[in-house]
Amino acid sequence: MDQTQIDTLRGKPVAAFHHLIDGKAVPASDGDTMNVVSPIDGQVLTTVAAGTAEDMNAAIASARAAFEDRRWAGQAPAARKKVLLKWADLIEANALELTVLGVRDNGTEIGMALKAEPGSAAATIRYYAEALDKIYGEIAPTPGDILGMIHKEPVGVVGAIIPWNFPLMIGAWKLGPALAMGNSVVLKPSETASLSLLRMAELALEAGLPPGVLNVVTGEGRVVGETLGLSMDVDVLVFTGSGATGRRLMEYAARSNMKRVYLELGGKSPNIVFADAPNLDEAAKVTAAGIFRNSGQVCVAGSRLLVEAPIHDEFVAAVTKAADAMRVGDPLKVETQIGAVNSETQLQANLGFVETAVSEGGQIVTGGARILQDTGGYYMAPTIVTGVTQKATLAQKEVFGPVLGVTPFATEKEAVALANSTVYGLAGAAWTANLGRAHRMVKSVRTGVMHINTYGGADGTVPLGGVGQSGNGSDKSLHAIDKYVNLKTAWIKL
């Protein structure tokens, strides 16, 4: 990365963004806008349209019309592939622009953002483009003069609600398989991270995606998100975000057309370190990165550190050393390792969790406070709290910030019990040199993803999904396609 290029892009004014409906930039129906406040310095960066129910209904109607006239679904797989591959190429060609725009919007450190955002998005779109003409129907082993055939058809209109932490990456996880299978999509970005998704959608049109196939409506969830969820013309709803919002979306589906709803709702992921871990120094560095990168704003973040009692003090000291060495600051500086918290609201929520942890008997080892206030931005020191009991708030509630709770354990059985003691089940890790124990941990810890002697970094060939209140369905891999197809049986007498 070239710091000069980054600084040049940082200095460019950002024009106001409108909705993208039926291939055109459309202002809110009432002309209202929302300020985009950069977490880097707390200053207004630009505005986006403050969507209305009328705006969202117009986008849904556009997506429905595009699906019904088959301007996209009716194209040959090779033609859809060509468009999606060109889109991926354009994302890569504009990667730095997209990254800087996104960082100014949500505060992720640029070293992580460049790879995790446009880099990941382009790879995801390309993956599903290459897969789409290799998805076949089936012929059933039916008897006699009956032929049973199973067709895979697009579901129709997909509503996708995207969070603020990695909008391009998570957006592509939804858009890639949905569009590859011929669906139309209405996308609702987060109120605090819309810009890069809007720009990526513009590139889709440039690549040749027909108007109406991908629509983007910005605005408050209680207005445009609710309208999307209650629509009788949306067939599938996909969402990444909080459990409270996920529950509302399920209620909306029940109150409307019983649309399918797939949810990824975060977690409280256990990172379990045994005394026989092969390299405690490496484990400490990876542990620190696994919770503090992107200011802890990662759904699979290893926010619960469970340490075997004999090495507890030694390992906590090593993680603290690694955390204190990580550079917090301006996310558009290439040397920064931890950027800004997404918003003032999120920062205050993080600090509230720390206060609660202390009131419940926890001890702050490092961090615990807001820093760099003179910048006007939203920054928090990496925070480690020891003495966190199983029932403590910090052990049970997702912070979504740079706060690590530490709990000791005595036996493998106790480690598993602690790991499984929350309502979540998204990710986890175990550090051990014992191969048998490693396999037992994979089998015993109730998660959708389990790491052994590492944390994070899996690519798009494997699914990401949770159990319990971490949600249902999977993003990534070929398994994600299942959410965006209907199975139709043809029963033919020969």
The residues annotated as belonging to the active site are 264
The structure tokens listed for 456 are 């994070």
Measured CA to CA in angstroms, residue 453 lies from 281, 285, 413, 461 at distances of: 12, 12, 19, 20
Gap between the Cα atoms of 459 and 21, Å rounded: 32
Gap between the Cα atoms of 116 and 89, Å rounded: 16
345: Cβ–Cβ under 8 A, 6 or more apart, which residues? none
Which region holds residue 279: left if phi is over 0, alpha if psi is between -120 and 50, else beta? beta
Q: How is 138-203 classified by DSSP, letter by letter? A: EEE---TTEEEEEEEEE-SEEEEE--SSSHHHHHHHHHHHHHHTT-EEEEE-BTTB-HHHHHHHHH
Gap between the Cα atoms of 169 and 113, Å rounded: 9
Measured CA to CA in angstroms, residue 81 lies from 10, 77, 86, 144 at distances of: 34, 6, 9, 38
β-pair type (157-161, 24-26): unpaired
Q: Which segments of 181-276 does DSSP mark as H helices, in order?
A: 195-207, 226-230, 243-255
Task: Please tell me the chain's helix, strand, coil percentages from 3-state DSSP, rounded to the nearest 5.
Answer: 45, 20, 35
- Torsion angles phi and psi, residue 376, rounded to 5: 85, -5
Q: How many residues does the chain have?
A: 494
